């Protein structure tokens, strides 16, 4: 389909600033094929051909849920107009900092991805919803957008066609819940950031009640390469069901924390020990949280370390890959201390809309505080488990359901840590 062929990149699809200096400059980005893919879609492809190509690529949402991107686009209601694209740049999961690097260092590729998605669903307006703390990124994106408009790469009648596109940035006000796509849409509409009831899902009822695709920054940033090199090419990277590269945000007890772009299916061992340089101070690795605070705790056995990081394999360890923000926990850490931290976070970020999350996290904070500070009994640990079980499966959105992952897995998989605190 594409007649602009160039050599597939050897290493980077997303963090291309590692290969190309100043890729955030339009002239440099253009020199390396920037916006050729978008021009290609607008001038030579039908919208559904773009969606088909993305389906072929096997690209899955990088925000955490791993939902097939092309499939999501194909759900957009064609009988209800206008359509909108919203780039989810609310990156708030503790331990996740990949979207930030992409938007800071390779912003034009991200914006090109937004544009390709918009064309695919025939949206004439696309929004970038950034967490409130990303005000500086929003400013720089605004500058890039103006530059693209001046260059005729965004705006009216693009490339001499009837297609027009505006991209608008929007800052949130600092709420984790607004990363949940329906809460994000509420927030964009100027309302309190609380998730909506689903169904209906955004592709049928989204922003202002109109069909909307909400995609993560990283997901969108993949699109130019998929268009340029073809979905087939992309689908060969990674594993059979988890295709492509992923930016892993590595943090915690590692020598070299940071973002690492690796094919899906890379093992934890490769990421933590080869790329990240292993655990500092000669300590042993105790646990891994593969999806930030929303993770179950993986016991860092040899078997676990050799598990490929993809959407299918991580569940075998009783966890999810999620946004692939890998937090490494060494053997100095007490698990009750750790879950006290995560529960404080969820209690602080619970939007309060549904009862189990609002009340349950508040209750769990009291319990984890007491357990962590050694003022609790074994019954309190049981109660904590009960409360977490009581939240499970009853919440309105995923935030509440994720809040208990670390608690339940921590109590189940690290009983010695709890025995120790309640015994003291």
User: Binding residues for another protein, per CB under 8 A?
Assistant: 175, 177, 192-194, 197, 347-356, 358-363, 366, 383, 386, 390, 393-396
271 or 383: CB nearest another protein = 383
Residue 345 Cβ vs another protein, minimum distance, rounded to whole Å = 11
Minimum Å gap between C-beta 354 and another protein is 5
Which residue in 185, 167, 204, 144 sits closest to 24, CA to CA? Answer: 144
* Closest distance of CB 381 from another protein, Å: 13
* 3-state DSSP percent of the chain in helix, strand and coil, to 5: 50, 15, 40
Nearer to another protein, 129 or 346 (CB): 346
Minimum CB–partner distance for residue 188 and another protein (Å): 17
C-alpha–C-alpha distance, residues 363 and 180, integer Å: 23
Q: Which is nearer to another protein, 317 or 395 (CB)?
A: 395
Q: At what angle do helices 355-372 and 415-423 cross, to 10 degrees?
A: 60
Q: How far is the CB of 347 from another protein (least distance, A)?
A: 7
Closest CA to 256 of 268, 272, 240: 272
Q: Measured between alpha carbons, how far is 130 from 134 in angstroms, rounded to an integer? A: 6
Nearer to another protein, 192 or 305 (CB): 192
The Cα–Cα gap between 147 and 140 comes to: 11
To another protein, the closest distance from the beta carbon of 146 in angstroms equals 34
Q: Are 30 and 37 in contact, with CB atoms under 8 Å apart?
A: no
Q: Which is nearer to another protein, 308 or 400 (CB)?
A: 400
Q: Give the whole-angstrom CA distance, residue 407 versus residue 357.
A: 14
Beta bridge partner(s), residue 321: none
Shortest spacing between CB 386 and another protein, in angstroms: 8
- Whether residue 95 contacts residue 259, with contact meaning beta carbons closer than 8 Å, is answered with no
Q: How far is CA 269 from CA 222, 280, 302, in A?
A: 25, 15, 9
In terms of CB distance, is 337 or 362 closer to another protein? 362
**Minimum distance between the CB of residue 421 and another protein, rounded to whole angstroms?**
18
Comparing CB distances to another protein, the nearer of 331 and 386 is 386
**DSSP assignment of 91-144, as one string?**
--STT--HHHHHHHHSHHHHHHHHHHHHHHTT-SEEEEEE-GGGHHHHHHHHHH
CB of 360 to another protein, least distance (A): 6
- The CB-of-190 to another protein minimum distance in angstroms stands at 11
Q: Between 195 and 224, whose beta carbon lies closer to another protein?
A: 195
Residue 319 or 354 with smaller CB distance to another protein: 354
CA atoms within 13 A on the CB side of 342: 28
Residue 75 φ then ψ, to 5°: -80, -10
| DSSP result, 205-265 | S-GGGS-EEEEEHHHHHTHHHHHHH-HHHHHTSB-SSSBSEEEEEEEES-SS-EEEEEETT
CB closer to another protein out of 39 and 390:
390
Residue 53 · residue 227 · CB < 8 Å = yes
Residue 235 CB contacts under 8 Å (≥ 6 apart), including other chains: 56, 57, 58, 243, 244
For residue 354, give both structure tokens: 């549904």
């Amino acid at each position: 389909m594409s007649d602009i062929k160039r050599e597939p990149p050897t290493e980077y699809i997303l963090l291309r600033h590692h290969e190309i200096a100043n890729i955030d400059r339009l002239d440099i980005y253009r020199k390396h094929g920037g916006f050729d893919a978008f021009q290609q879609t607008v001038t030579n492809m039908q919208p559904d051909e773009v969606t088909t190509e993305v389906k072929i690529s096997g690209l899955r949402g990088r925000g955490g849920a791993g939902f097939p991107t092309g499939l999501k686009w194909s759900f957009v209601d064609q009988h209800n107009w206008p359509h909108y694209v919203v780039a989810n740049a609310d990156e708030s999961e503790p331990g996740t900092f990949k979207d930030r690097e992409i938007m800071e260092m390779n912003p034009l590729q991200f914006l090109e991805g937004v544009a390709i998605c918009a064309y695919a669903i025939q949206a004439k307006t696309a929004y970038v919803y950034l967490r409130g703390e990303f005000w500086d990124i929003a400013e720089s994106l605004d500058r890039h957008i103006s530059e693209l408009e001046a260059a005729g790469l965004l705006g009216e009648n693009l490339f001499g066609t009837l297609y027009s596109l505006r991209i608008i940035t929007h800052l949130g006000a600092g709420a984790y819940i607004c990363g949940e796509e329906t809460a994000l849409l509420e927030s964009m509409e100027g309302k309190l950031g609380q998730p909506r009831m689903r169904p209906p899902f955004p592709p049928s009822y989204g922003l202002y009640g109109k069909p909307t695709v909400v995609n993560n920054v990283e997901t969108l940033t993949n699109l130019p390469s998929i268009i340029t090199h073809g979905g087939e090419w992309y689908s060969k990277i990674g594993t059979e069901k988890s295709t492509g590269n992923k930016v892993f945000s590595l943090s915690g007890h590692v020598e070299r924390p940071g973002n690492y772009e690796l094919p899906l299916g890379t093992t934890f061992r490769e990421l933590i020990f080869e790329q990240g340089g292993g655990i500092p101070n000669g300590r042993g690795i105790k646990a891994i949280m593969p999806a930030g605070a929303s993770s179950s705790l993986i016991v860092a056995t040899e078997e676990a370390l050799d598990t490929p990081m993809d959407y299918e394999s991580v569940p075998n360890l009783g966890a999810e890959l999620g946004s692939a923000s890998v937090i490494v926990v060494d053997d100095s850490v007490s698990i009750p201390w750790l879950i006290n931290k995560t529960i404080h976070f969820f209690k602080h970020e619970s939007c309060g809309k549904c009862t189990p999350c609002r009340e349950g996290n508040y209750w769990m904070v009291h319990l984890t505080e007491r357990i962590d500070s050694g003022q609790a009994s074994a019954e309190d640990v049981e109660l904590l488990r009960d409360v977490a079980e009581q939240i499970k499966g009853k919440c309105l959105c995923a935030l509440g359901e994720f809040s208990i992952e670390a608690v339940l897995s921590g109590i189940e998989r690290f009983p010695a840590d709890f025995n120790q605190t309640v015994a003291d």
